[in-house]
Amino acid sequence: MTKPHGVLILLIVLCTPCAFGKIKVEKPVTEYNANPIGIDIAKPRLSWQLISDVNNSLQTAYEIHAADSPELLKGNKKLLWNSGKVTSDQSVNIEYAGPALKSAQRVWWQVRVWDNKGNASAWSEPAYWEMGILSPTEWTAQWISRKEEKGSHPCQYFRKDFSPTKKISSARVYITSLGLYQLFLNGKKVSNDLFTPGWTSYNKRLQYQTYDVSALLGKDNAIGVILGDGWYRGKIGWSSQDGYYGNKLALLFQLQIKYTDGTSETIASNNDWKVTTGPILASGIYDGETYDARLELPGWNQPGFKDNNWEMVEILQHSKDMLTAPQGVPVKAIQEIHPVKIITTPKGETVYDMGQNMVGWVRLNVRGNKGDKVILKFAEVLDKQGNFYTDNLRSAKSTDTYILKGNEEEVFEPHFTFHGFRFVKLEGFPGTPALNNITGVVIHSAMEPTGSFSCSNALINQLQHNIQWGQRGNFLDVPTDCPQRDERLGWTGDAQVFSMTAAYNFNVAPFFTKWTKDIAADQLPNGKVPHVIPDVLKGEGGSTAWADVSIIIPWTVYRVYGDTRILETQYPSMKAWVDYMKNRAGDDYLWTEDGHFGDWLAFASTNSDYTGATTEKDLIATAYFEYSTKLLSKIARIIGRTQDADEYEKLAQKIKNAFIEEYVTPKGRLVSHTQTAYALALSFDLLPEQLKGKAAEYFANDVKKFGHLTTGFVGTPLLCSTLSSIDRDDLAFMLLTRQQYPSWLYPVTQGATTIWERWDGQKPDGTFQDVGMNSFNHYAYGAIGEWLYSHVSGINYDLAYPGYKHILFIPHVGGGLTQATGDFTSMYGKITSSWKLENDVFTYEVSVPANTTATAVLPNATLKDVLINAVPAEKALKDAIKLDGNQLSVELGSGNYKFQYPMPIKK
Q: Which residues are catalytic?
A: 487, 757
- Cα separation, 677 vs 674, in Å, equals 5
Contacts 24+ apart (CB under 8 A), 190-195: 190/216, 191/330, 192/332, 192/333, 193/330, 193/331, 193/332, 194/330, 194/331, 194/332, 194/333, 194/443, 195/230, 195/331, 195/416, 195/418, 195/476, 195/477
Q: Which of 526, 240, 233, 503 minimizes the C-alpha distance to 396?
A: 240
Residue 779, burial from CB neighbour count under 10 angstroms (0-12, 13-18, 19+): buried
CA distance readout (Å), 192 to 73, 230, 359: 31, 17, 17
Q: Measured over all CA atoms, what is the biggest interatomic distance in the chain, rounded to whole angstroms?
A: 88
Is 702 strand, coil or helix?
Answer: helix
- Cα separation, 538 vs 530, in Å, equals 8
User: What is the per-residue DSSP string for 526-565?
Assistant: TSPPBSBSS--STT-B--TTTTTHHHHHHHHHHHHH---H
- Cα separation, 794 vs 373, in Å, equals 54
Contact yes or no for 504/786 (Cβ under 8 A): yes
Backbone angles phi, psi at 586, to 5 degrees: 85, -165
Contact yes or no for 211/172 (Cβ under 8 A): yes
Beta carbons within 8 Å of 730's beta carbon, 6+ residues apart: 814
Contact yes or no for 396/486 (Cβ under 8 A): yes
- Cα separation, 519 vs 499, in Å, equals 15
Backbone angles phi, psi at 418, to 5 degrees: -150, 160
Helix (H) or strand (E) holding 300: none
767: number of Cβ within 10 Å: 10
Q: Which of 2, 117, 98, 6 minimizes the C-alpha distance to 55?
A: 117
- Cα separation, 235 vs 536, in Å, equals 10
Contact yes or no for 858/834 (Cβ under 8 A): no
- Cα separation, 907 vs 904, in Å, equals 9
Alpha helices in 153-241 (DSSP H): 230-233
- Cα separation, 334 vs 681, in Å, equals 41
Backbone angles phi, psi at 826, to 5 degrees: -85, 180
Task: Categorise residue 296: left if φ over 0, alpha if ψ from -120 to 50, beta otherwise.
Answer: beta
- Cα separation, 130 vs 633, in Å, equals 36
Is 107 strand, coil or helix?
Answer: strand
Backbone angles phi, psi at 231, to 5 degrees: -75, -25
Contact yes or no for 65/119 (Cβ under 8 A): no
Residues in the chain: 907
Half-sphere exposure of 790 (CA within 13 A, CB side): 25
